[in-house]
């Protein structure tokens, strides 16, 4: 999970690089044999440096002034066992790592997709590089000893706008 948070921080650093690499007009991100989901309207599929999977990003500005406004990143971790235990352990690790940033971590709560795939959700709020960021993290069992962490991130003041967009996208999430 900490890789998802680092991915958002990397994207803030490389925000100017997102524009030319964005594939707009694609409504769905599909990684065969891993996951798929429908992106929120206005988001574009991008390939971020160091990321294993495509990222959905909403950008503002044009040319050299392009900045990431919100994004959805996905990471898969090899991990056997119960999803709930894995989530609790991962959140505990992240809580310790993010304490130096003053992160506020929400409780882990059950979440189900529209297709009935059960998972979990938790929120994290922190300030990085002077920007207040809101994360909604979703966790799913990817099968075959794999756990999937999806991190949805936006500026904290815009969380009321993005929360329903993230929720709708994750309602379409399908492992494999």
Q: How far is CA 8 from the centre of its chain?
A: 8
**pLDDT tens, position by position, 93-138:** 888 788 877 899 899 999 999 999 999 999 999 988 888 999 999 9
Check residue 65 and report its DSSP letter.
Answer: G
State how far the Cα of 105 lies from the Cα of 62, in Å rounded to an integer.
34
Dig out the tokens for 17 from the structure: 């690089």
Q: Give pTM, 2 decimals.
A: 0.84
Helix ranges, 46-109 (H)? 83-98
Instruction: Give the pLDDT of the chain (176 residues) as one tens digit per residue.
Output: 444 444 444 444 444 344 434 444 448 999 999 999 999 999 999 998 888 999 999 988 777 777 888 999 999 999 999 999 999 888 888 887 888 778 998 999 999 999 999 999 999 999 888 889 999 999 999 998 999 999 999 999 999 999 999 999 999 999 98
Number of H helices, E strands in the chain: 4, 11
The angle subtended at Cα 9 by Cα 72 and Cα 20, nearest 5°, is 65
Task: Find the domain containing 46 and state its range.
Answer: 2-175
State how far the Cα of 126 lies from the Cα of 133, in Å rounded to an integer.
5
Other C-beta atoms closer than 10 Å to the C-beta of 77 total 15
CATH number at residue 108: 3.40.1000.10
pLDDT of residue 97: 81
Helix%, strand%, coil% for the chain, nearest 5: 30, 40, 25
Q: Of all residues in the chain, what percent carry a pLDDT higher than 90?
A: 59
pLDDT of residue 22: 46
The domain tally of the chain equals 1
pLDDT of residue 16: 37
3-state secondary structure 94-122: HHHHHHHHCCEECCCEEEECCCCCEEEEE
């Amino acid at each position: 999970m900490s890789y998802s948070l680092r991915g958002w921080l990397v994207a803030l650093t490389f925000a100017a690089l997102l524009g030319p690499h964005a594939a707009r007009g694609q409504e769905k991100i599909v990684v065969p044999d891993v996951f798929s989901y429908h992106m929120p309207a206005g988001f574009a599929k991008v390939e971020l440096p160091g990321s294993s999977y495509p990222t959905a990003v909403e950008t503002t500005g044009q040319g050299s002034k392009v900045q990431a406004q919100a994004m959805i990143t996905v990471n898969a971790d090899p991990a056997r066992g119960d999803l709930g235990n894995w989530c609790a352990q991962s959140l505990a690790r992240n809580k310790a790592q993010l304490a130096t940033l003053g992160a506020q971590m929400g409780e882990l709560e059950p979440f189900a997709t529209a297709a009935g795939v059960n998972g979990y959700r938790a929120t994290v709020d922190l300030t990085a590089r002077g920007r207040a960021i809101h994360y909604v993290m979703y966790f799913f069992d990817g099968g075959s000893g794999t756990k999937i962490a999806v991190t949805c991130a936006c500026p904290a003041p815009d969380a009321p706008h993005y929360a329903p967009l993230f929720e709708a996208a994750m309602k379409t999430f399908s492992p494999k």
